[in-house]
Amino acid sequence: MNKQLGTVITTTVTDENATEYFVQSEGLTYSLAKSEIKKPLKLGSTFRGFAYENEQHHLRITRQIPAIGFDQYGWGTVVSKKFGLGVFVDLGLPDKDLAVSMDDLPAMRSLWPDVGDQLLVALRRDSKGRLWGELADEEVFKAISQPATNPKLKNRTVKARVINPKKMGTQVLTDQYQLGFIDRSEVEQEPRLGELITARIIGIRPNKTVYLSMRPRAYEAISDDAEMIYRTLAMRADHFLPYNDHSDPEAIQTYFGISKSQFKRALGNLFKRHQINITATGIQLVEDQRE
């Protein structure tokens, strides 16, 4: 087993060719790209770098030290998935991605991270000396999190990273590093591990973590009536309709096929989403909404 893999080691230059130096440590030979070196290395000189095995199973060494190490957690971006194995995250190396085993991923494959999602991982070595990504556990996230103590956080919309999708709900870490929980009743579709979501803080828990919701506020959930009015405005050349909340109920019923109360709720919905302007003579689609 090569215990040097995944660590920074000191080596001795033993040979070179047109594109690479060859360096040795403890009887093992690693290749080093000459493109990394500004000044030529001499035979017998020392070089210190990160040792790893690339995708072709060749021993390599580099000055590009990853932010991820043993007991050193860092965010890695998912670059690929492989059924039966797991997902791969970018280490910052040109010819090596780090595998996270499917054994450490959610049982439901729909909750696996997708390409572009991010995971907080450290290095671990298996019994054969191979490097894997080890997902941060609850204790790690507790250690790096910040307490939620400001009551003004309530109703604030935040970005959050999914760190543990569970049956009863989803655990997240907000962009301000506060731990949060989203109950299953507060999501329309269960988010993936590593996914970056937008959610609203709906409460602060006694343990100084936050409750969040991914459901829109009532006025943000566009209704079928609002969608119908929006599409009607979008299709008109002037993007204007001579109806507003003061219009005659029968005229509204005749033109839109809905009651005046439904019409007013739909207008309020569109107005609060900044999709229309309401004037004394009617409703106008705002400029950046026009097709």
Over residues 228-253, the pLDDT tens digits come to: 898 889 888 999 999 998 999 999 99
In whole angstroms, how far apart are CA 274 and each of 263, 277, 286, 289? Answer: 17, 8, 7, 9
Structure tokens at 116: 């572009």
Looking at every residue in the chain, the average pLDDT score rounds to 91
Measuring CA to CA, which residue among 270, 275, 250 is closest to residue 260?
Answer: 250
Strand 179-183, strand 8-16: pairing: unpaired
- Pairwise CA distance, residues 132 & 277, whole Å: 55
Which residues is 249 bridged to in the sheet? Answer: none
pLDDT for 89 beyond 90? yes
Q: Please compute the mean of the pLDDT values over residues 273-286 and round it to a whole number.
A: 91
pTM of the model: 0.72
Over residues 136-153, the pLDDT tens digits come to: 999 999 999 999 998 888
Q: Specify the pLDDT at position 2.
A: 86
Spell out the domains of the chain, with CATH numbers in brackets. Answer: 8-62 (2.40.50.330), 74-136 (2.40.50.140), 145-213 (2.40.50.140), 224-289 (1.10.10.10)
- Which strands make up the sheet holding 240-241, listed edge to edge? 240-241, 283-285, 276-278
Q: Other CB atoms closer than 10 Å to residue 94's CB: what's the count?
A: 12
Q: Specify the pLDDT at position 111.
A: 93
